[in-house]
Structure 1
Amino acid sequence: MSDPVPALTDRHGRVHRDLRISLTDRCSLRCTYCMPAEGVPWLAGSTMLTTAELVRIARVAVGLGITEVRLTGGEPLLRTDVVDVVRQIAALTGPLGPPEVSITTNALRLPALAAPLKDAGLRRVNISIDTLDRERFAALTRRDRLHDTLAGIAAADAAGLHPIKLNAVAMRGVNDDEVVDLVRFAVDRGYEMRFIEQMPLDAGHTWDRTQMVTQAEVLASLRSAFALTEVPGRGSAPAERWLVDGGPQTVGVIASVTAPFCGACDRVRLTADGQLRSCLFSRSETDLRTLLRDGADDETLGAAFRDCLAGKKPGHDIDDPSFLQPDRPMSAIGG
């Protein structure tokens, strides 16, 4: 009889299979819902994990049953050795086999990197695009780069990084009038559009729930133009999905605020400076960087993973009066 597969299980019985690794806190855009125009103080270079360090942590995690590694930021493609990072992580193997490696990106560097990333072992991409209007894109991101984002999406498609998922943060009075147009854009090209409820993760701590476009509002807009059929079997995926006009294309909504999916969460996050987080909204972290640099062995690193998850709460408690927004903004946590 073979040994059981090791599992990263928290005290609520959730088995963790998904590791999100932030490669950098830096970003080439300045999205209004994420950071101020002048940016935020960047993490000190000496605190950032080296490639060898982050690959070692990934190797330990894969040995503990992690089956998906998502590379995030900031903007992960700003890391100069991102192709090598992908290659090394994709070559790992554990008791459940090699991990699926994916990336979340603003796509600005994908025209040059999509093919090399695919060759290195990248399986798929999630691409942020909140609007199809050039002026609105420039106002939202404070950069006139819509053309580059669209070129990056096309490059990912040409390289075979499928399925291509497009993410938009729905914002009242900003882009909520484009919900239908964004879905048409995606469906016409064989992509999956996903709308994300705006979360309290901005650097300025200016999040206002009354300005957030809810899942119910997104679906109401979509049903004015499409027939939606719910896709069953969501599992631990963050997005609820619907077939558009009978399929095969789908649209998803990530309703972290109004319909949280914490009960099935299987994600754990590693920041670019080596801090392990059990939840996007956690106010505590486990310092893996210091352990690494003090000579910890793999068993000690594995124990740190388990200790981190032992303190994971059943939910993020955004609706609780005692909720406090994390000190780190999204760009410094990694999605």
Structure 2
Amino acid sequence: MQDPFGRHISYLRVSVTDRCDLRCVYCMAEDMTFLPRREVLSIEELDRLCSAFIRLGVRKLRLTGGEPLVRREIMTLIRSLSRHLRSGGLAELTLTTNGTQLAKHATALAAAGVKRINVSLDTLRPETFTGITRWGKLENVLTGLAAAKDAGLKVKINTVALKGVNDGEVHDLVAWCGAQGFDLAFIEVMPMGDIGGERRLEQYWPLSMLRADLERRWTLTETDFRTGGPARYVDCLETGQRIGFITPMTHNFCESCNRVRVTCTGQLFMCLGQEDNADLRAALRESEGDARLEAAIRDAVSRKPKGHDFILDRRASNVSVTRHMSVTGG
């Protein structure tokens, strides 16, 4: 599949649920109303949808949420999709998780062919963790990360940069990830969805400032390493690990975008920061064959926009896109 700007679409992110066992302040309101289950794609529908994308050229598949590992029968889906790894149709099957359920699932993930995972972790301080997640316990995530290491999974930590919240511990995160053998990616907060009383403009910390802070202590060297995602990486001499920077606000990563996202309700979004979408659930539920589904996918990719237009401004609502990240496929 190729979009209007010549970019080959080979990377699909699929939200398998909008539900999560945490309520991170930059992602969700505390009192969330989740989707009725009938609106969410079944495990069988998710398998069928992902398989159609793989036939059309997707080589990397990431399962997201919400929190994907709270989805009932999620391992049934992962084991089924792993057949595409064995056939060679899929190069990588991975997921992004908050880590709370990893102790339960890490061994099974590795057995199903998952080689690496991204784990969202914004702090190493228990009280700060509970403040960010509203009710989470850091020890559960650390136990899950230990299980992932024991299972042989490669781990990358994703950390959202939050001014006044975790800006005092970025050096600790770099040192800890180095000691654990984890890569690390910092992410700028994005204006997606109503998060209640939290104001994103007050949360926003440009990664140009964060990187300048890091360079006072660490030796960072540019690298051409890519995972297929939006991060731009550097090597950290002192730890031997990579550090990535995902900058949707200060420098968008659209020129090389090879990704599309599907919500847990089957809406295909060609761009994280745009509202245009295609209804794939109708194509799934109203047709036994996949011809209509594949045609809908091709038609949507043919109108993928050049890029997103995230804006944070005191005069604006601080919500550039009304849907929550948890619905969109991370």
TM-score between both structures, scaled by the size of structure 1: 0.92
CA–CA distance in structure 2, aligned partners of residues 141 and 153 of structure 1:
17
Task: Report the alpha carbon displacement of residue 320 of structure 1 after superposing the two structures with TM.
Answer: 9.9
Task: Report the alpha carbon displacement of residue 261 of structure 1 after superposing the two structures with TM.
Answer: 0.8
Say whether 1:330 aligns with 2:322: no
User: What letter is aligned with 1:267?
Assistant: R
> Which of 289, 298, 301 lines up with 1:297 in the alignment?
289
Give per-residue Cα distances to partners, 1:61-90, cap 9 Å, x unaligned: 001110011000000000121111111111
CA–CA distance in structure 2, aligned partners of residues 291 and 53 of structure 1:
11
User: What letter is aligned with 1:36?
Assistant: A
Partner residue, 1:166: 157
Q: Is the 8 A contact 1:235 1:264 kept in 2?
A: no
Q: Is the 8 A contact 1:62 1:93 kept in 2?
A: no
Structure 2 stretches lacking a partner, 5+ long: none
Task: Report the alpha carbon displacement of residue 211 of structure 1 after superposing the two structures with TM.
Answer: 4.0
Single out whichever of 246-255 and 288-297 deviates more from structure 2. 246-255
Q: Is the 8 A contact 2:26 2:200 kept in 1?
A: no
Matches within 5 A, 1:230-309: 230-234=222-226, 236-245=228-237, 248-295=240-287, 297-309=289-301
Partner residue, 1:29: 22
CA–CA distance in structure 1, aligned partners of residues 136 and 181 of structure 2:
26
CA–CA distance in structure 2, aligned partners of residues 281 and 92 of structure 1:
30
CA–CA distance in structure 1, aligned partners of residues 254 and 88 of structure 2:
24
Partner residue, 1:181: 172
Partner residue, 2:303: 311
Give me the identity figure in percent: 39
User: What letter is aligned with 1:168?
Assistant: T
Partner residue, 1:129: 121
CA–CA distance in structure 2, aligned partners of residues 55 and 310 of structure 1:
23
Task: Report the alpha carbon displacement of residue 291 of structure 1 after superposing the two structures with TM.
Answer: 1.2
Matches within 5 A, 1:61-140: 61-92=53-84, 97-140=89-132
Task: Report the alpha carbon displacement of residue 93 of structure 1 after superposing the two structures with TM.
Answer: 6.2
Single out whichever of 239-248 and 315-324 deviates more from structure 2. 315-324
Matches within 5 A, 1:204-223: 204=195, 208-209=200-201, 211-223=203-215
CA–CA distance in structure 2, aligned partners of residues 154 and 290 of structure 1:
41
Task: Report the alpha carbon displacement of residue 232 of structure 1 after superposing the two structures with TM.
Answer: 2.1
CA–CA distance in structure 2, aligned partners of residues 189 and 235 of structure 1:
20
Structure 1 stretches lacking a partner, 5+ long: 1-7
Distance 1:308 1:320, change over 3 A: farther
Q: Is the 8 A contact 2:225 2:233 kept in 1?
A: no
CA–CA distance in structure 1, aligned partners of residues 38 and 161 of structure 2:
36
CA–CA distance in structure 2, aligned partners of residues 263 and 253 of structure 1:
16
Partner residue, 1:55: 47
Distance 1:267 1:253, change over 3 A: same
Distance 1:180 1:214, change over 3 A: same
TM-score between both structures, scaled by the size of structure 2: 0.93
User: What letter is aligned with 1:169?
Assistant: V
SS in 1 for 2:260: strand
Task: Report the alpha carbon displacement of residue 263 of structure 1 after superposing the two structures with TM.
Answer: 0.7
SS in 2 for 1:83: helix
Task: Report the alpha carbon displacement of residue 202 of structure 1 after superposing the two structures with TM.
Answer: 3.6
Task: Report the alpha carbon displacement of residue 284 of structure 1 after superposing the two structures with TM.
Answer: 2.1
Task: Report the alpha carbon displacement of residue 285 of structure 1 after superposing the two structures with TM.
Answer: 1.7
